[in-house]
Structure 1
């Protein structure tokens, strides 16, 4: 399929040039009061169609999947900058918490689908939208991934327990194994004991669904794109009454062991950037948490 380009209706185009001004890739130019369309370079951002006051500019269209929700009531409104009050938004941001206590109630497929629709409203580098989402929709599927992750860390702990091996890697400038041993070995070992004894789930905390956020090759900044989409998903999940938790251990396992990716159903050619545990929370947070003051710099010239 070739590159799609914006279409300009000369009968309704007023020649205002707003679409050319908004075009980030220079595909549209205003020449002698008429909009000219270049033959290549469109990234499909849709700015031209969004700013055209007469509707003369038509952006390359998708299939509409991301515009129609099943469980979320969306008016389809376009909120201009400053139109949505910042106070409720900040309340939402501060209210979202990582949940590590879930009930056994499953998350519906329609709700998961709407979360993914909300996720892809995030920005992406050069509008590549190269993100991927792999949804584990049952507790059994989540436990299957948990078993694969446990196997990876059991093998890693066996290596890390070897003092000579840790020292050898550190000697050649590879201190990762020593750092892992110092910071994670003991807690992982304890979690593995609990898992093998009675399947106590200290990884996904009883979540009934998991979404793995990855990327296909070709994006200009795929990790950033995936994490921005993940942030959208976390906030939308909170609005729907769901709890979420980012599972970094699962990300690391999939990055280092193709067997874990295979267990999750993620193709080998995709990178994994985030793993989100999802479910109905079995805990109620009554007040927001505090945050440490970050290092902030201001430069005026």
Structure 2
């Protein structure tokens, strides 16, 4: 991460100490009655800027995620308790994975706004090392789909050999045997349909997609990327778009350099999520249930 440091307007500073108390890196302190900042160690979280009542502390650089093309945010802070929990839960329960889309393209400004919404997510040590590869057309999505299909043709050909999967299982590597048991038949059927008439059982006709990855150096890149993906899913729903996470594409991108190269991913960049996007060609009328999870409570 590029080195940054808070900028302090000494005349505006009221000496309240709110920024010092919140700084997670101990960058800010009072010396000789004046607020000072170390020039190293800042993670750029912006807590100091956000909490200062006088606007005396700022961070360098522009806020890329503050300017949207298709959304008009007010710029106001929503404090804890300042938004309806009922409306939030309604949104969470209303978003569903979409597997039927119209052929309508998703406009470029909407796709960029989705990335802006995604990067408002938290990230470990504020590394923000995520990457977004945006496939802006149905043709680009189909191109990735073909690369993924080719990967699974090779996997299925290997899994179809009993001596290979059984031999690997004997040395403790059961991945291929488990794949053959759980996924081989459905993948073979999907590949047959794709080869016959390009029936799309992977992206389901989506007209855009976003591959969310990470550059090296983040403290928890997978968690960061998945939090960004959830932001994107919810924002897309409010914008009238359908979404679906495509796990098969993630596996292909992770395990085959040729698939990653097909969409221009450089070496060293990890992939954590693939989001299919498009105008939904289905209307869901009611929320559905979720299974009760295992929940533990500890009081001491």
Q: TM-score, normalised by structure 2?
A: 0.98
- Supply the distance in 2 between the matched residues of 1:231 and 1:33 (Cα, whole angstroms): 44
Q: Is the Cα–Cα contact under 8 Å of residues 4 and 39 in structure 2 kept in the other structure?
A: no
- Supply the distance in 1 between the matched residues of 2:169 and 2:59 (Cα, whole angstroms): 54
Match of 1:280 in 2: 279
Match of 1:67 in 2: 66
Residue 116 (structure 2) pairs with residue 148 (structure 1): no
How far is the alpha carbon of 1:59 from its aligned partner? 2.1
Q: Is the Cα–Cα contact under 8 Å of residues 47 and 59 in structure 1 kept in the other structure?
A: no
How far is the alpha carbon of 1:49 from its aligned partner? 1.0
Match of 2:97 in 1: 98
Cα distance per residue 1:221-247 (max 9 Å; x no partner): 000000000000000000000000000
Match of 1:18 in 2: 18
Match of 2:55 in 1: 55
How far is the alpha carbon of 1:184 from its aligned partner? 0.0
Q: Is the Cα–Cα contact under 8 Å of residues 115 and 237 in structure 1 kept in the other structure?
A: yes
Q: Is there any run of 5+ residues in structure 2 with no aligned partner, and where?
A: none
How far is the alpha carbon of 1:60 from its aligned partner? 2.9
Q: Give the alignment's Cα RMSD to 1 decimal.
A: 1.1
Q: Is the Cα–Cα contact under 8 Å of residues 16 and 33 in structure 1 kept in the other structure?
A: no
Cα distance per residue 1:21-76 (max 9 Å; x no partner): 11110000134542221221001111111111111111233x33211100012111
- Supply the distance in 2 between the matched residues of 1:43 and 1:97 (Cα, whole angstroms): 35
- Supply the distance in 1 between the matched residues of 2:234 and 2:107 (Cα, whole angstroms): 17
SS at match of 2:131: strand
- Supply the distance in 2 between the matched residues of 1:287 and 1:82 (Cα, whole angstroms): 26
- Supply the distance in 2 between the matched residues of 1:70 and 1:145 (Cα, whole angstroms): 27
Cα distance per residue 1:250-300 (max 9 Å; x no partner): 000011000001112211221000000000000010011210000001111
SS at match of 2:274: strand
Moved more, 237-246 or 39-48: 39-48
Q: Is the Cα–Cα contact under 8 Å of residues 136 and 207 in structure 2 kept in the other structure?
A: yes
Residue 191 (structure 2) pairs with residue 187 (structure 1): no
Runs of 4+ in 1 over 6 A off after TM superposition: none
Residues matched between the structures, number: 300
- Supply the distance in 2 between the matched residues of 1:104 and 1:142 (Cα, whole angstroms): 12
Match of 1:130 in 2: 129
- Supply the distance in 2 between the matched residues of 1:10 and 1:128 (Cα, whole angstroms): 28
Residue 102 (structure 2) pairs with residue 77 (structure 1): no
